[in-house]
């Protein structure tokens, strides 16, 4: 069955490919377990992604827009409606007698599980298998400096992580499932909670001197750090660095 939140189905957005840096995070975390990871959503998708009902990200231009060659001026935040107020809601379910509310019917999760979301603990983190690799200038602009950042020094981010697939990766899971290649790059936006504990890394140009972003070569600096020479006034990637 097509498990919701499962892997990309090819044709559309950022499909499986050697350059796919946008795989469903849930695939990695959950398919080996039988618990599906929660889907992460951006607060505000850009108008393009919203219209296409496709995954967006915080960056402007977002990954998808970058891929399609849209600029900052086209990758705009969508307008959010004002929430209705004052509506009556009817009586709520009573709690079970004592002060404690009825446990969230979440498959009888142990209580210790109740604080995983933000600021995750390194013990269960996917980051155990992660080696920070680098980031792309397009995305770094949205992140604040790391706490350890000192003024005057270049700011290093780790926007992408090298992740090792589970040991059964590459093998079939039920006969038809082909796992992604054993090693993939994951945008750090998938692991916001795990950013702090890890050291900042910077990726240098490879032998080819080329770094790719969303399947496209990045014309910016491959020695990625937040320097004005890489980003424009708005902290964005200069249009010259973007593919047209």
Minimum Å gap between C-beta 83 and DNA is 5
Nearer of residues 149 and 243 to DNA, judged by Cβ: 243
Nearer of residues 33 and 41 to DNA, judged by Cβ: 41
Looking at residue 77, what DSSP letter applies?
B
Nearer of residues 49 and 203 to DNA, judged by Cβ: 49
Minimum Å gap between C-beta 159 and DNA is 17
Q: Where along the sequence are the contacts to DNA (CB under 7 A)?
A: 2-13, 15, 17, 24, 36, 38-45, 49-57, 67-68, 78-81, 83-95, 98-102, 104
Minimum Å gap between C-beta 215 and DNA is 8
**How far is CA 180 from each of CA 26, 128, 176, rounded to the nearest angstrom?**
13, 19, 13
Nearer of residues 67 and 149 to DNA, judged by Cβ: 67
Torsion angle (degrees, nearest 10) of CA 66, 78, 192, 234: 60
> Would you say 38 and 50 are in contact if contact means Cβ atoms under 8 Å apart?
no
CB atoms near residue 187 (< 10 Å): 21
Nearer of residues 159 and 225 to DNA, judged by Cβ: 159
Find, among 36, 39, 35, 60, the residue nearest to 48 by Cα: 60
**How far is CA 123 from each of CA 13, 26, 31, 182, 194, rounded to the nearest angstrom?**
33, 18, 19, 22, 11
> Would you say 241 and 214 are in contact if contact means Cβ atoms under 8 Å apart?
no
Minimum Å gap between C-beta 199 and DNA is 26
Minimum Å gap between C-beta 28 and DNA is 13
Nearer of residues 38 and 204 to DNA, judged by Cβ: 38
List Cβ neighbours of 116 (8 Å cut-off, separation of 6 or more): 124
Minimum Å gap between C-beta 221 and DNA is 26
């Amino acid at each position: 069955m097509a498990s919701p939140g499962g892997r990309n189905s090819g044709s559309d957005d950022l499909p499986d490919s050697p350059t796919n840096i946008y795989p469903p995070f849930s695939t990695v975390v959950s398919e080996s377990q039988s618990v599906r990871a929660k889907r992460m959503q951006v607060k505000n998708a850009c108008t393009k992604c919203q219209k296409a009902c496709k995954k967006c990200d915080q960056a402007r231009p977002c990954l998808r827009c970058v891929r399609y060659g849209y600029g900052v001026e086209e990758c705009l935040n969508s307008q959010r409606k004002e929430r209705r107020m004052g509506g009556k809601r009817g009586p709520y379910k009573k709690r079970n007698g004592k002060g404690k509310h009825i446990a969230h019917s979440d498959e009888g999760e142990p209580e210790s599980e109740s604080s995983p979301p933000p600021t995750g603990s390194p013990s269960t983190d996917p980051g155990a298998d992660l080696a920070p690799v680098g980031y792309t200038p397009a995305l770094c602009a949205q992140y604040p400096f790391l706490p350890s950042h000192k003024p005057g020094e270049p700011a290093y981010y780790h926007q992408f992580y090298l992740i090792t697939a589970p040991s059964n990766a590459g093998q079939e899971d039920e006969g038809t499932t082909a796992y992604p290649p054993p090693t993939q790059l994951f945008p750090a936006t998938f692991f916001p909670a795990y950013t702090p504990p890890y050291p900042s890394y910077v990726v240098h140009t490879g032998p080819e001197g080329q770094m790719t972003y969303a399947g496209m070569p990045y014309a910016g600096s491959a020695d990625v750090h937040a320097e004005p020479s890489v980003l424009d006034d708005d902290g964005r990637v200069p249009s010259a660095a973007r593919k047209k």
